[in-house]
Amino acid sequence: MLRGLYTAASGMITQQRQQEALSNNIANANTPGYKADQTAIRAFPELLIEQMGDTNRAPGGPRIPASRQLGGLNTGVYVQETIPDFAQGALTESGLPTDVAINQREVPDENGAIFFAVQNNDGDVRLTRNGNFSIDADGYLVTSQGHYVLDENGNNIQTNGSMDVVSEEGVIQAAGGEVTLGTQYVADVNTLTKEGNDLFQGDAEAVPANAVYSIEQGVLEQSNVNSAQAMTDMMNAYRMFETNQRVLRVYDESLGKAVTEIGRLS
């Protein structure tokens, strides 16, 4: 009975964590470049239950130990990991010259993707697909969170207050001259770590020559969250949570009866 309590409790914890991931996805449904989180749920190792006993080989003969298999026992589930979905979001026009998007058409690796290179608050290079850029008070190109956007040489981009044209190759025609946006390639996006603020950490390299992509100005890549599907998944997770909660309540009532009624001396 106690094992049943643990199994039901693990199911509740799993659905709660799935709810948190879905809630975060819905909250970022309108965040440019956001990649939806997907939870990978696994079961704990299954146990094989056997009934132990003994039997007589023949009347009056020696007693020989024997057992009988009753079947498997599942010990619950857990969220193994949360994996971002790196499918490209829809590209929509914003009309702002500082907004740019990566239109990725073909890359050499199945799980490969191209990102913008930016600098986080600690000065480390990070990757993002959110091209909702702006120009700060000092004339530098920054993200919506204030992180510096880097050029192809890893330097901050100084625009001197204006950014007129961005070519499909990522060359910026600004008041300070020409500079190329820094783009990085990741052969396997599943190795990236999500940091928040649309930033990813991981090993990246120069974009391969055979990659087919373009930089679109005045365009933003939208979130790849399917809001309708996320709401449906959230309702299913809530119902599963309630089901495990009812099972937990039944076990609790059964334990209460075992303590207060069955164990009572008449």
As a whole number of angstroms, the distance between CA 224 and CA 24 comes to 13
DSSP letters of 52-106?
EEEEESSTTS-EEEEEEEEEEE---EEEEEEEE--PPPPEEE---TTBEEEEEEE
In the structure encoding, which two tokens stand for residue 147, read together?
């992180």
SS3 call for 248: helix
- pTM, to two decimals: 0.78
In the structure encoding, which two tokens stand for residue 116, read together?
């913008």
Q: Which amino acid is at 12?
A: M
Domain edges within the chain: 2-83+226-262, 91-221
pLDDT by 10s per residue, the chain, length 266: 567 777 888 888 899 999 999 999 999 999 999 999 998 887 777 766 666 665 555 566 666 666 666 666 667 787 888 889 999 999 999 989 999 999 999 999 999 999 999 999 899 999 999 999 999 999 999 999 999 999 999 999 998 888 888 899 999 987 667 899 999 999 999 999 998 888 999 999 999 999 999 999 999 999 999 999 999 999 999 999 999 888 888 877 887 777 777 656 55
